Amino acid sequence: MKINTHKYVLALMGLLMIVACSSSGGGDDTPPTTGGEDDTPMIPAPTAATLVFPEDETECNTGVVDPNNTALSTVTFQWNAGQNTDNYEVSITNLNTLNVIRVLSNTPQADIKIDRGTPFSWFVTSRATGTTETAVSQTFRFYNEGAGIENYAPFPALAIAPARGANLPTSTTVDLSWSGSDIDDDITSYEVFFGTDAANLASEGPVNTTTLENVATTANTRYFWRVTTIDAQGNQSQSELFDFFVN
């Protein structure tokens, strides 16, 4: 029997093409690769919350007094939610003792028990699941109402310049400046304490302004300072310890 070689070759080539097309996969039917870490969805960073209550530089008089300890009251801290945020951390500092309370919340408010008749500062940190990035709100200060208090002590002074931890160029003098505030608006004077030994600062005398000019310094020295604020009723508050370095 005579075989038609030409037809045989054509048939064999057609079969090979069908097999090759089947092996190459049906184009779009092949699942796409993930591409590794480059295809990991980006988690948007949270944005800062906006503080609402207690308001800045005010007296908080809405706290619910603890019936078991009248020195404490529960205050509802409130803020406007930040974007891309799953939870919040509220940080509250007792400005007399500098003790810090931290409370977690999944909503833009938290009921927190704090001392009465005491100045506090507070801020909120926004956090999101899947990212280590955070956002921090402004810091507000307030007095938590106390029993029978008619006149509050001033808020502790805040350093303006030099900023805490600042490195200053070599100079023989420095100007110290700070801010002071009082709910009763009756601050009468400030007393500045200054020196190189944080535990033994010398008084620079009372002043009626929030600036003390031409304080003597020397090179390559770290200095410490704090401010006592005094009001018309004789109430006093002491600031935190500030420091700076003269190169």
Domains of the chain in sequence order: 50-144 (2.60.40.10), 155-246 (2.60.40.10)
**Per-residue pLDDT at 150:** 82
Q: How far apart are the first and last CA of the chain?
A: 108
Structure tokens at 205: 């005398």
Yes or no: say if 157 and 235 are a contact pair by the CB < 8 Å rule. no
HSE toward the beta carbon, residue 111, CA cutoff 13 A: 8
Query: How does pLDDT run across 61-79, given as a tens digit for each residue?
Result: 999 999 999 999 999 999 9
Looking at the predicted structure, is the pLDDT value of residue 95 above 50? yes
Q: How many CB atoms lie within 10 A of CB 175?
A: 12
- What sign for the dihedral angle of Cα 208, 213, 218, 220? positive
More confident residue, 40 or 113: 113
- Band of pLDDT at residue 53, cut at 50, 70 and 90: very high
Q: What distance lies between CA 142 and its chain's CA centroid?
A: 17
Query: How does pLDDT run across 177-191, given as a tens digit for each residue?
Result: 999 999 999 999 999
User: CA-CA distance, 83 to 48, in Å (whole number)?
Assistant: 8
Query: Which ranges constitute the DSSP H helices of 66-184?
Result: none
Angstrom CA distances, 67 to 64, 70, 74, 87, stand at 9, 6, 11, 30
**Per-residue pLDDT at 33:** 47
Query: How does pLDDT run across 117-175, given as a tens digit for each residue?
Result: 999 999 999 999 999 999 999 999 999 999 888 889 999 999 999 999 999 999 999 99
